[in-house]
Structure 1
């Protein structure tokens, strides 16, 4: 097994190209290697501001849009992954270890605006938000200046690895 990225596009303001998805898959692998996470699945959804606002209000009780939300499937690193049984017509049921790490939701309009504010490409901003969300799935947070500095360094290292620079 390996790290898998499943994605969907629920917005129409920016074309999500196969090239971008390829970059995000490379970014997932790079960040996963750094964090010693080699297996699992991440579900990524691109949305508009209205949808991320709705989700932010519903799940975080914050009544405004945001740039990225992460929903981890496990509360702690010690939880066991779910075992899924796949049945083939000619084979007995074999357990397959499938770990869903969680969901990442990115507001594309926010990413576009932030890329303009920071003076870099939309692809780089989407990559930044994606790796930021991935680190949240693994339990990282940025509540203190030290935690924020650690997350920023990890994000920048992963982006540098695949060439998504400013």
Structure 2
């Protein structure tokens, strides 16, 4: 599965081990969902200022957040996310979407929750993947389902609390 990671910040060091973990959690999230179409995902590492701008622009919230997900196309309730289509050639592209993670926020949350940055980043990437796959946590039942899937992925890649 193509996972493209763009490090757009300089405040938190990024290791090859972290990059490998991002690819593992993305691929495992798709496997857990039975997705065999191998879609493309982009993960951007940013700082608080950058994610704050995105959060305001797209969600009208004025604070920094830890992770944002941008599916290629929004799914309706009960519908799968549909792959994008190339408007020029009319060919179907297999792009699931983009995940943006604030490395600064992830580092603070890792310290607050008492685990390492790798675990926090793996959780945030997994959380973002499930949003790209059409999951939400806007009520207790959906939150529980999404959290169970996230924990399953983290367990499968052996990144636990």
TM-score (norm 1): 0.87
Shift of 1:126: 0.4
CA deviations 1:74-101 (Å, max 9, x no partner) are 1222635436999xxxxxxxx9853111
Moved over 4 A (4+): 83-86
1:51 positional shift: 0.4
User: Tell me, which stretches of 5 or more residues in structure 2 are unaligned?
Assistant: none
1:13-162 alignment, distance < 5 Å? 13-38=11-36, 39-76=38-75, 77=80, 79=82, 81-82=84-85, 98-162=93-157
C-alpha distance 80-27 of structure 1, shift in aligned 2 (>3 A): closer
Aligned Cα RMSD in Å? 2.0
Please identify which structure carries the higher strand content: 1
What SS does the aligned partner of 2:123 have? helix
> In 2, distance between residues paired with 1:69 and 1:163?
24
TM-score normalised by L of structure 2: 0.90
CA distance in structure 1 between the partners assigned to 2:54 and 2:9 by the alignment: 15
Deviation at residue 11 of structure 1 after TM alignment? 0.9
* Residue 71 of structure 1, CA deviation: 0.5
How many angstroms apart in 1 are the aligned matches of 2:48 and 2:19? 21
Aligned pairs, how many? 156
**Which of 4, 7, 17 is residue 6 of structure 1 equivalent to?**
4
Contact 1:84–1:97 (8 Å) recurs in 2: no
